Amino acid sequence: MRVDAAEARGLASALLVQFGAPSHHAQLQADLLVEAQLRGHPSHGLLRLPRLLERMEKGLINPAALGHHTWQSASMLIVDGQQGFGPVVAMNALAELVGRAKQTGISIAGIRNANHLGMLAYYVEKAASEGMIVLAFSTSEALVHPFGGKQAMLGTNPLAIGIPAGPSPFVLDMATGTVSMGKIHDHALRGEPIPIGWALDRDGNPTTDATMAKAGSLAPFGAAKGYGIGLAIELLVASLAGSALAPDVRGTLDADHFANKGDLFIVINPPAQPHLSQTLATYLADLRLSPPQQPTHPVTIPGDGGQRRRTASLQHGLEIDADLWASLSGALAAPSPIATQDVYS
Amino acid sequence: MRVDAAEARGLASALLVQFGAPSHHAQLQADLLVEAQLRGHPSHGLLRLPRLLERMEKGLINPAALGHHTWQSASMLIVDGQQGFGPVVAMNALAELVGRAKQTGISIAGIRNANHLGMLAYYVEKAASEGMIVLAFSTSEALVHPFGGKQAMLGTNPLAIGIPAGPSPFVLDMATGTVSMGKIHDHALRGEPIPIGWALDRDGNPTTDATMAKAGSLAPFGAAKGYGIGLAIELLVASLAGSALAPDVRGTLDADHFANKGDLFIVINPPAQPHLSQTLATYLADLRLSPPQQPTHPVTIPGDGGQRRRTASLQHGLEIDADLWASLSGALAAPSPIATQDVYS
């Protein structure tokens, strides 16, 4: 079904307040979920709300926490997230980083003990719109097997890069698995096979059965090179945030554990370069206009698809699972336990 | 043929001095070439020396230049490479960055107008051995087509990440094309076909003919995601170094143009964490011991292959093309024009 985005944001926010969140924290967390839904990433959308509420109810989320900041040195911020909402802790840290990068050129924050960040594009796009370059990394439960391996040993370890460019910032946001576990669950739900190369089953054998893959592991994207990048993120985040490594990570998918993954933001204040924004815009336009392999599929820039889906969703309404919407609406009308759906990276 | 690594280093260094390089600049540039050769990356090895000498002879390399440093702010260094040797300019900038990161936590340098860096692993490994985390990026001539595109629009845009970990640092060093142009040239030379998916011909059609691929474009690694990373590096480096974008880049492969690509280094002084080095070492060991898909091919960590080849090369001698060695040796004995071989990314 389709609902109005503002209505969805309002409902999500009201539910978060009902479960104990301060109003502006609820609004930010709700905005994250709705923005992911708008761009066609339901696995990072409202599907996660019941799990967040469940975690709040169990005391696994401290909805008032802003994160405790320690400036390790002039440009390095270490954040104990105090089990706050991922977006609240991250946006609070980012605001500090942007201020500091304006003085020192570059700043970095390692964040531990914060809840799930949601869609990384949200953060880097915001800062890039203010003229900052941002690199963002996060870790997760072990879901991805090493290149040539059979066992989930790495997180889906997403990265995002935002770079100011006219007319709108360049925003890359990707996980380092070939596909998300969400896509595997979607296929399992619809009884559809998955291509060989997406995932292994529990015993480490290639499988086309999505249900078998759910209990197995995802392939790293880009073979050995993609595995290398996922592993680098694993080590980078742990080294700077003091967070757990994938096999020990808990609390981004479940409702039983505190979150112990890590997040990392690097903010860079680029030196002024006359015409740079125009030069980048021209180059990106040239890429889009460059000859495509299939005439019906023009070359795109990362983020194009999400922006197209966002525009359409804002115009025609937000696509959302009818049961999920009914369950959320019902919970607000008459507070009661909400049916929790599985969440996955 | 096989030669002693120290002898190769000495010959390369002596030739660079003969063509006008100060002795310690010659030694560093020679070390970069020999280290790449030792690790089994001949395309970044001594094969590049004749082209470097030719560029020196034509005045396209200023062998004495250290790079002109401008601290844009406390943690941001902008370097005009003054057409110096890539390694000389980069190591000089890195020394400054390490010193600054020890004070501020993180520092960044954008470098333009410097010659080819060679193997990025060299830089990040050195700094990681001293306890620093380093991210390195570089750009190049347009050789890679966008995902879904037919025309070379991006550089091979390598990235390297070095992270301190016991007993030796983690070092990832990779280009963002599926394969290097060097590998395509090797296949063409041996008359061997290349797999579909490596490259397109001049007209943008998939090809198994390596000779056709030489005039075409390389596929980005990792499909849309790998393309996204290569593109992000393109924009990131241009934004910070003020260097050219791939379609306008010249001077890393030819002997006709000044080098106008860019390099980017980020150095991070990680906060002290007791047991971190041991924790990372245990995790990396667990990865290597995790069940492999093929019993004969254990899971490896990026850099393992290069280190293995380096150890073997140091023991048994450096593998080098006999004609190249003869040509280099001859040039030193009786100064004369050196047969230049094609160089490629």
Topology of domain A68-177+220-268, CATH: Ribosomal Protein S8; Chain: A, domain 1 (3.30.1370)
Higher pLDDT, A166 or B7: B7
B205-246 residue pLDDT tens:
999 999 999 999 999 999 999 999 999 999 999 999 999 999
pTM for this predicted structure: 0.96
What DSSP assignment string belongs to A100-155? Answer: HHHHHSEEEEEEES------THHHHHHHHHTT-EEEEEE--SS-BPPTTB-S--B-
- Is residue A333 over pLDDT 80? no
| B148 reaches A (C-beta below 8 A) | yes
Q: What is the mean pLDDT of chain A?
A: 95
* pLDDT at residue B205, rounded to an integer: 96
The chain A residue lying nearest B224, using CA atoms, is A302
Residue keyed to tokens 């440093």: B69
pLDDT at A336 over 90: no
| CATH 3.30.1370.60 domain position(s) in chain A | 68-177+220-268
CB-nearest partner of A148 from B107, B232, B292? B292
Beta strands per DSSP E along B113-236? 133-138, 159-163, 170-174, 199-200, 217-218
Interface residue of B69, B71, B73, B201 to substitute, partner A, most A CBs within 10 Å: B73
Among B93, B88, B91, which residue's Cα sits nearest to residue B64?
B88
Of chain A residues 2-61, which have a CB less than 8 A from chain B? none
Q: In the predicted model, is pLDDT for residue B341 greater than 80?
A: no
- The pLDDT score that the predictor gives to residue B244 is 97
Query: Does pLDDT of A234 surpass 80?
Result: yes
Residue B149 is nearest to which of A174, A266, A291, comparing CB atoms? A291
- Reported as a single tens digit per residue, the pLDDT across A260-295 is 999 999 999 999 999 999 999 999 999 999 999 999
Query: Is residue B43 very low, low, confident or very high in pLDDT (cuts 50, 70, 90)?
Result: confident
What is the pLDDT, as a whole number, of residue B42? 87
Query: CATH: 2.60.40.10, 3.30.470.30, 1.10.1530.10, 3.40.630.30. Which one for B2-57+316-333?
Result: 1.10.1530.10
**pLDDT of B343 higher than 80:** no
| Inter-chain CB proximity A279 and B146 less than 8 Å | no
> CB B250: neighbour CB atoms within 10 A?
15
Looking at the DSSP bridge assignments, the partners of residue A272 are none
Per residue in A184-193, pLDDT (tens digit) is 988 988 899 9
Q: Does B247 touch chain A (CB under 8 A)?
A: yes
Q: What's chain B's length in residues?
A: 345
Q: How far apart are CA B265 and CA B310, in angstroms?
A: 25
A229 neighbourhood in chain B, CB within 8 Å: 172, 174, 229
Average pLDDT, chain B: 95
Which residues in chain B (191-210) have CB-CB distances under 8 A to chain A?
204
Interface of B with A in 293-332 (CB under 8 A): 293-294, 297-302
Q: What are phi and psi of B288, to 5 degrees?
A: -65, -30
Any A CB within 8 A of B267 CB: no
Please determine, for residue A137, whether its predicted confidence score (pLDDT) is greater than 80: yes
pLDDT bucket at A182, cuts 50 / 70 / 90? confident
What whole-number distance in Å separates Cα of residue B175 and Cα of residue B120? 10
How many whole angstroms separate alpha carbon A283 and alpha carbon B248?
Answer: 11
Q: Does A166 touch chain B (CB under 8 A)?
A: no
- Percentage, residues of chain B above pLDDT 90: 91
Number of CB atoms found within 10 A of residue B215's CB: 11
The pLDDT tens digits of the residues spanning B306-320 come to 999 999 999 999 999
Query: Residue A136 corresponds to which tokens in the numbers above?
Result: 């963002």
Are A173 and A120 within 8 A, CB to CB? yes
Assess whether pLDDT exceeds 70 at residue B339.
no
Determine, for residues A240 and B270 on separate chains, whether the beta-carbon distance falls below 8 Å.
yes
Question: Do the Cβ atoms of B57 and B34 come closer than 8 Å?
Answer: no
Model confidence at B340, pLDDT cuts 50, 70, 90, reads low
Residue-wise pLDDT for A44-98, tens only, equals 999 999 999 999 999 999 999 999 999 999 999 999 999 999 999 999 999 999 9
Residue A339: band (very low, low, confident or very high) from pLDDT cuts 50, 70, 90: low
pLDDT at B183: 86
Cβ-Cβ contacts under 8 Å, B222 against chain A: 221-223, 225-226
Residue A152 has pLDDT above 70, yes or no: yes
Which residue of chain B has the CA closest to A179?
A: B225
Enumerate the residues of chain B whose CB falls inside 8 A of the CB of residue A269: 73, 76
The mean per-residue pLDDT over the stretch B252-279 comes to: 96
Q: Which residues of B touch A172 (CB under 8 A)?
A: 228-229, 231-232
**Interatomic CA distance for residues A327 and B4, integer angstroms:** 73
* A311 Cβ contact list (under 8 Å, min separation 6): none
B63-122 per-position pLDDT tens digit:
999 999 999 999 999 999 999 999 999 999 999 999 999 999 999 999 999 999 999 999
A289 touches chain B (CB under 8 A): no
Q: Which residues have CB under 8 Å from B7's CB, separation 6+?
A: none
Q: Residues of CATH 1.10.1530.10 domain(s) within chain B?
A: 2-57+316-333
Query: pLDDT value at position B335?
Result: 59
A285 in contact with B, Cβ within 8 Å: no
- The set of residues, in sequence order, having a beta carbon less than 8 Å from that of B164 and lying 6+ positions away, is A239, B128, B129, B131, B132, B133, B170, B270, B277
Which of B76, B96, B106, B304 to mutate to test binding with chain A, by most A CBs within 10 Å of its CB? B106
Residue B182 is predicted with a pLDDT of: 83
A225·B222 Cβ contact <8 A: yes
| Whole-number pLDDT of residue B164 | 97
Bond prior to A167 in cis (omega within 30° of 0): yes
Specify the amino acid at residue A30: A
Chain A: residue whose CA lies nearest to B134:
A236
B238 vs A: CB within 8 A: yes
Tell me if B235 and A74 make a contact (CB, 8 A cut-off): no
Average pLDDT of the residues in A124-143 = 97
Instruction: Kindly state whether A281 is in contact with chain B, defined as any CB-CB distance less than 8 angstroms.
Output: no
- A73 — contact with chain B (CB < 8 Å)? yes
Inter-chain contact A150–B204, Cβ cutoff 8 Å?
no
CB pairs under 8 A between A and B: 236
How distant is the Cα of A298 from the closest Cα of chain B, in angstroms? 7
